[in-house]
């Protein structure tokens, strides 16, 4: 099933209305859809590098709006919708314990999930369920998703097709390293 969804997403990159499809995929990925918008962004940017920033911007706006849907699912429909989504991902067992600690690390949780391959939808739903302040959630989502999408767009625009294989194979590692450097930088500023 995942392979079929992956193939479907790749075909959308060639569609005349690819930007609209990217918006739909980015929106849904933030709350319910398992395929990341990067898979649609990469071929779109490689085909039209001059439009890299527009493509990343569409993904950013749609993803943050989809994150608000995930937040609303967590806040208003966790038992009916949110819990089954998280259970299907194998995340339901640890939710009660996670709830008690989540908001202490909410900024970092949203930032990390927004830029790494960790399912962003888990964090959006959990943010609503735990009652994370909406302003914190939105601001962090914008920062995290902008980092993710604009870094990918910038690399593809600058280096083109040769970087595609690197990004597809090591995207998680690159963004995880970036988040660790970012956290280290904040820690250094705080303690030095």
Distance CA 166, CA 134 (A): 35
Q: What is the DSSP letter of 49?
A: G
- List, for residues 134-165, the tens digit of each pLDDT value: 998 999 999 989 988 998 899 888 887 676 66
**Does the pLDDT of residue 57 top 90, yes or no?**
yes
Q: What pLDDT does 7 receive?
A: 63
Report the helix count and the strand count for the chain, using DSSP H and E.
10, 0
- Residue 100, classified by CB atoms within 10 Å of its CB into exposed (0-12), middle (13-18) or buried (19+), is exposed
Packed helices 161-191 and 38-47: angle between N→C axes, nearest 10 degrees: 120
Mean pLDDT to the nearest integer, 40-54: 85
Nearest CA-CA partner of 23 in 1, 54, 46: 54
3-state secondary structure (DSSP) of residue 168: helix
Decide if 33 contacts 1 (C-beta within 8 A): no
Percent over 70 (pLDDT), the chain: 64
Range from 3-7, 23-27, 79-83, 148-152 carrying the lowest mean pLDDT: 3-7
Decide if 13 contacts 43 (C-beta within 8 A): yes
* Beta-carbon contacts of residue 24 (< 8 Å; ≥ 6 apart): 62
């Amino acid at each position: 099933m995942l392979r079929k969804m992956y193939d479907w997403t790749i075909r959308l990159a060639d569609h005349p209305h690819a930007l609209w499809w990217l918006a739909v995929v980015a929106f849904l990925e933030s709350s319910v859809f398992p395929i990341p918008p990067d898979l649609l962004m990469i071929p779109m940017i490689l085909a039209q590098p001059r439009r890299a920033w527009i493509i990343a911007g569409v993904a950013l706006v749609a993803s943050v709006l989809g994150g608000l849907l995930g937040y609303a699912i967590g806040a208003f429909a966790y038992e009916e919708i949110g819990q089954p989504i998280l259970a299907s991902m194998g995340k339901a067992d640890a939710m009660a314990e996670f709830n008690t600690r989540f908001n202490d690390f909410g900024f970092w949780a949203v930032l990390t999930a927004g830029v790494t391959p960790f399912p962003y939808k888990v964090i959006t739903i959990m943010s609503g369920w735990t009652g994370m302040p909406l302003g914190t959630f939105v601001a962090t989502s914008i920062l995290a998703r902008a980092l993710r999408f604009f870094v990918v767009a910038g690399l593809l625009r600058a280096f083109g097709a040769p970087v595609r294989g690197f990004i597809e194979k090591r995207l998680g590692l690159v963004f995880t390293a970036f988040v660790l450097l970012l956290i280290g930088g904040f820690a250094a500023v705080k303690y030095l």
